């Protein structure tokens, strides 16, 4: 090998990286898309510390809930199941608040899945178990009559579509 030249990778190594790199990108995209699934932090995630807007309310603190008690009649209600220990939840929170400010026909109800004093994402809380949560943020969308019109992936897609408008 000459001085100043890089060693050449074998054909096997180049083919291996061609297979591995797309798989790594796909895994990163899925983690980003699906949000938090593991209790990855002992401290609350940063960001989103501003006080919520008047058309955004926070409920539960880990306790079971009845969605009907929190649906706003005549408006689309987005239930946002979250934890302060979930970075994707904290990242989308200001976007949801902005959406609720821009749209008079829509309200956001944030459902904190963590019980007071629990560090990390509280997958064992009564509300997390009530809704069989396996990843957050998790959305449930109800229409103005209180009927569930979307949940999970479908609701996430609708919320993302509304945020991009």
pLDDT of residue 82: 96
pLDDT of residue 47: 43
Where exactly are the structural domains of the chain? Answer: 56-164
Q: What is the mean pLDDT of each run of 10 residues along the chain (165 residues)?
A: 50 49 42 44 44 66 94 95 96 94 94 96 97 96 97 96 94
pLDDT of residue 35: 52
pLDDT of residue 91: 95
Which CATH number does 56-164 carry?
3.40.30.10
User: Please, what sign has the CA dihedral across residues 95, 97, 98, 102?
Assistant: positive
| pTM reported for the whole predicted model | 0.70
pLDDT of residue 11: 53
pLDDT of residue 58: 86
């Amino acid at each position: 090998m000459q001085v100043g030249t890089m060693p050449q990778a074998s054909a096997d190594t180049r083919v291996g990286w061609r297979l591995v790199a797309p798989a790594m990108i796909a895994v990163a995209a899925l983690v980003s898309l699906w949000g938090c699934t593991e209790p990855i932090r002992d401290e609350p995630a940063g960001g989103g510390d501003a006080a919520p807007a008047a058309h955004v309310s926070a409920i539960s603190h880990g306790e079971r809930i009845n969605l009907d008690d929190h649906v706003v009649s005549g408006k689309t209600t987005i239930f946002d199941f979250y934890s302060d220990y979930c970075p994707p939840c904290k990242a989308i929170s200001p976007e949801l608040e902005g959406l609720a400010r821009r749209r008079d026909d829509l309200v956001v109800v944030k459902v904190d899945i963590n019980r007071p004093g629990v560090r990390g994402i509280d997958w064992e809380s009564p509300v997390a178990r009530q809704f069989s949560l396996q990843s957050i943020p998790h959305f449930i969308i109800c229409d103005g009559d209180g009927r569930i019109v979307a949940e999970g992936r479908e609701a996430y897609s609708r919320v993302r579509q509304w945020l991009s408008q």
